[in-house]
Amino acid sequence: MAGVLYFYFHRRNGKAFSSLLVKSFFLGMLGVVVLIAAQYLSSLLGLNELRNLKRTLFYSFVTVGFASELGMYIIYRYVIIPRELIDKPIHGITFSIMVALGFSTIRILLFILDPLGIRSLFPETLYAFVFVPANLIFAVIMGFYVGMAKFLKSRFVYNMTGLFAAAFFHGLFNFCLLTKDFKLLSLFAFGSTVIVFILGIKASYTKPEPLDKI
């Protein structure tokens, strides 16, 4: 998918735009560092022993969900978004997706190979199959709000909404997998897809002017 986006935007927006897409992909890989640190700390403290509902919720929403989105948010918000090439809200979503694809590439490799001995506790085959499309959903949510923040006065509110909304959906996704609640997972998939569709349309038709440099 990253390759398709690259060639599409290379023809549509030019070399500089597509070059930034490539950089976004590789920079997104660095976001995994935050997740690795959170998982390692969780392992040391014994928080990955999911003996009860509280432990499962904490692991789903904080150790994995929030840490993953925070890693991507740092790269996306402070390295990618300030670029002048991002001059439309829809571009915010586009680059957020590229960051997420880079993150997902390393995340899946670490999940399968487990070189650090801190493998996540998700069903292996199912997680490997659904993680990438789910991560794209979180990327659209973050990309919409953080991308919009570049063009609005209430930047802090939009930035935090993007981070915590993506973390919430990521955590809910994790919780569904860990508890094997596939009915809730189906509802999550349907509801989040509708939300992403609405945000994508809204970003496409919103053309505010930047207030000043971010």
Higher-pLDDT residue of 50, 121 = 50
Entry pTM? 0.88
Under the banding of pLDDT at 50, 70 and 90, the label for residue 119 is low
Of 1-15, 67-81, 146-160, 196-210, the poorest mean pLDDT is in: 1-15
- Per-residue pLDDT band for 15 (boundaries 50, 70, 90) equals confident
**What is d(CA 170, CA 25) in angstroms, rounded to the nearest whole number?**
20
CA distance 121 to 82: 36
| Interval 172-191 mean pLDDT | 92
pLDDT score of 182 more than 50 = yes
- Residue 179's Cβ-count burial label (10 Å; 0-12, 13-18, 19+) is middle
Listed in sequence order, the residues at least 6 apart from 62 whose beta carbon sits closer than 8 Å to its beta carbon are 38, 171
Position with higher pLDDT, 9 vs 184: 184
pLDDT value for 125? 76
pLDDT higher than 60, residue 7: no
Residue at token pair 């189906």 = 186
Cα gap 34→164, rounded to integer Å: 16
What mean pLDDT do residues 189-204 have?
92
Mean pLDDT of the chain: 86
Q: Which band of pLDDT confidence, cut at 50, 70 and 90, is reported for residue 9?
A: low
Question: In this model, does residue 214 exceed pLDDT 60?
Answer: no
pLDDT for position 205: 82
Q: How much of the chain exceeds pLDDT 70, in percent?
A: 87
Q: Place 122 in a pLDDT band, splitting at 50, 70 and 90.
A: confident
pLDDT, tens only, 65-99? 999 999 999 999 999 999 888 888 888 899 999 99
Interatomic CA distance for residues 87 and 83, integer angstroms: 9
User: For residue range 37-71, what is the model confidence (pLDDT) as tens digits?
Assistant: 998 898 888 888 888 999 999 999 999 999 999 99
